[in-house]
């Protein structure tokens, strides 16, 4: 529905929906490398054979927040129900030990008055375990219907009353805090931080650059937004050690400079492929041979409205990197302000690009002489033809 309204690009929606399709339902011509990070930001890592399961109980709050909603709601309900039943049993034992159940059975006066011989119960109007359970609920949630009440007869009952109130406050704090944290989790805000479906490699300022586009669909900004990029691939050391997931940080450039970005409108983030880059020896001819290559992009910042740190992630495999392509402009100036056309967010056009590696281009600059360079482009500015709001009538003859 969002794509039909023009809020989210169609190809972006198709990318997100494709992540939800089961693996057995997809048609693939060849075996594809397993992603380390999915297009929707989910990490494709399965933790197995964890022997020290007790470590999760040392951080109970985080464990509760990480649980799925059905499990959280069951724990939420059972925690209160078990506490009510536990203290109901304690109240019933106090009444049984004091003889309240026998006295109330022999003579019961309306309003919880004195029984035979001036007997004063610990809790008035408590006749059975059901009465004790109802009194336990009234004490813990402070309902106070008025039918059952404590007396000064039993000091032990007063102590139990204090303990149950403290336990109820602790349970309320933990469970309500858990529910609040689950509803305000940072990844909810990341749903409106989008990345282009494909990354591109093209010339910029005479150098080969790896480029991608990032945007924010909301008007509320991401404060102190930073972006990082890593290359994950299988490597081996000189000693023969094989590292299946070697993470290599690569330097990125953006229009603002450094890793900090001002994400008011979509930005094209690029990485200059130099001798320190893992893509230094990659060419369009052997790009398909780097099947173990995966570029991970991480956008992190503070949500302006809530102050919670959020993180959005995506990745690009070798077959999702387009050589000799450039993103089309999507920012236009009209009616005294800048407008963004998200229907063209991931669209690219072919541009003249050398079919060689960045290493070959640096060693032989004469290759640039064979590349026709287009003139510099500027921000599009739409010319709007305004209709006159008034007309001048002809002079009468």
Would you state the pLDDT for residue 164?
94
Lowest mean pLDDT among 117-121, 293-297, 364-368: 117-121
The C-alpha torsion from 150 through 156 and 161 to 166, rounded to 10°, is 170
Please determine, for residue 16, whether its predicted confidence score (pLDDT) is greater than 80: no
Report whether pLDDT(49) > 50.
yes
What integer pLDDT is reported at residue 303 of this predicted model?
Answer: 87
For position 103, what pLDDT does the model report? Answer: 58
pLDDT in tens, 176-189: 888 888 887 767 78
State how far Cα 305 lies from the chain centre: 15
Across residues 199-219, what is the average pLDDT?
91
The pLDDT tens digits of the residues spanning 312-336 come to 999 998 889 999 999 999 999 888 8
Q: Which has more pLDDT, 127 or 18?
A: 127
d(CA 236, CA 246): 9
pLDDT of residue 31: 56
When pLDDT is averaged across residues 263-279 and rounded to a whole number, the result is: 89
pLDDT of residue 315: 92
Q: Are 295 and 210 in contact (CB under 8 A)?
A: yes
Percent of the chain with pLDDT over 70: 79
Q: What is the pLDDT of residue 246?
A: 84
The pLDDT, as a whole number, for residue 233 is: 83
Please choose, from the candidates 311, 72, 73, 69, the residue with its C-alpha nearest in 3D space to the C-alpha of residue 188. Answer: 311
Helix 129-140 vs helix 69-98: crossing angle, to nearest 10: 120
Q: Are 209 and 202 in contact (CB under 8 A)?
A: yes
Find residue 327's DSSP bridge partners: 348
21 vs 55, which has greater pLDDT?
55
**The pLDDT of residue 250:** 84
The string of pLDDT tens digits covering residues 64-118 is 888 888 998 999 999 999 999 999 999 999 998 888 887 554 444 444 455 555 7
Which of 217-221, 225-229, 367-371 is least confident?
367-371
Instruction: Tell me how far apart the alpha carbons of residues 133 and 2 are, in angstroms, rounded to a whole number.
Output: 50
In whole angstroms, give the CA distance from residue 274 to residue 302: 32
| 0.85 surpassed by pTM | no
Task: Indicate the average pLDDT of the chain.
Answer: 79
């Amino acid at each position: 529905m969002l794509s039909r309204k023009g809020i989210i690009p169609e190809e972006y929606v198709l990318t997100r929906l494709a992540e939800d399709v089961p693996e057995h339902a997809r048609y693939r011509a060849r075996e594809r490398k397993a992603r380390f990070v999915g297009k929707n930001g989910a990490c494709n890592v399965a933790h197995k054979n964890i022997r020290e399961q007790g470590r999760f109980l040392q951080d109970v709050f985080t464990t509760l927040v990480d649980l799925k909603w059905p499990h959280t709601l069951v724990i939420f309900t059972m925690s209160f129900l078990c506490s009510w039943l536990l203290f109901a049993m304690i109240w019933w034992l106090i009444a049984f030990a004091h003889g309240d159940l026998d006295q109330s059975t022999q003579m019961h006066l309306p309003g919880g008055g004195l029984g035979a011989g001036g007997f004063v119960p610990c809790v008035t109007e408590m006749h059975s375990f059901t009465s004790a359970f109802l009194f336990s609920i009234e004490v813990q949630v402070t309902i106070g219907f008025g039918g059952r009440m404590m007396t000064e007869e039993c000091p032990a009952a007063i102590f139990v009353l204090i303990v149950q109130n403290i336990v109820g406050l602790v349970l309320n704090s933990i469970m309500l805090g858990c529910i609040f944290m689950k509803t305000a989790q940072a990844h909810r805000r990341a749903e409106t931080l989008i990345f282009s479906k494909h990354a591109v490699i093209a010339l910029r300022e005479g150098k080969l650059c790896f480029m991608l586009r990032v945007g924010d669909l909301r008007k509320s900004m991401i404060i102190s937004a930073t972006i990082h990029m890593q290359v994950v691939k299988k490597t081996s050391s000189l000693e023969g050690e094989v590292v299946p997931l070697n993470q290599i940080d690569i330097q990125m450039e953006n229009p603002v400079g450094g890793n900090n970005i001002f994400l008011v409108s979509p930005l094209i983030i690029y990485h200059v492929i130099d001798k320190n880059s893992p893509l230094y020896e990659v060419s369009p001819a052997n790009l398909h041979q780097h099947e173990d290559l995966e570029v991970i992009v991480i956008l992190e910042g503070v949500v302006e409205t809530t102050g919670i740190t959020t993180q959005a992630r995506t990745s690009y495999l070798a077959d999702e990197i387009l050589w000799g392509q450039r993103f089309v402009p999507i920012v236009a100036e009209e009616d005294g302000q800048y407008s963004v056309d998200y229907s063209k967010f991931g669209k690219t056009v072919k541009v003249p690009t050398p079919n060689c590696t960045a290493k070959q281009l640096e060693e032989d600059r004469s290759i640039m002489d064979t590349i026709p360079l287009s003139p510099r482009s500027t921000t599009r500015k739409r010319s709007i033809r305004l209709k006159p709001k008034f007309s001048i009538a002809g002079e009468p003859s």
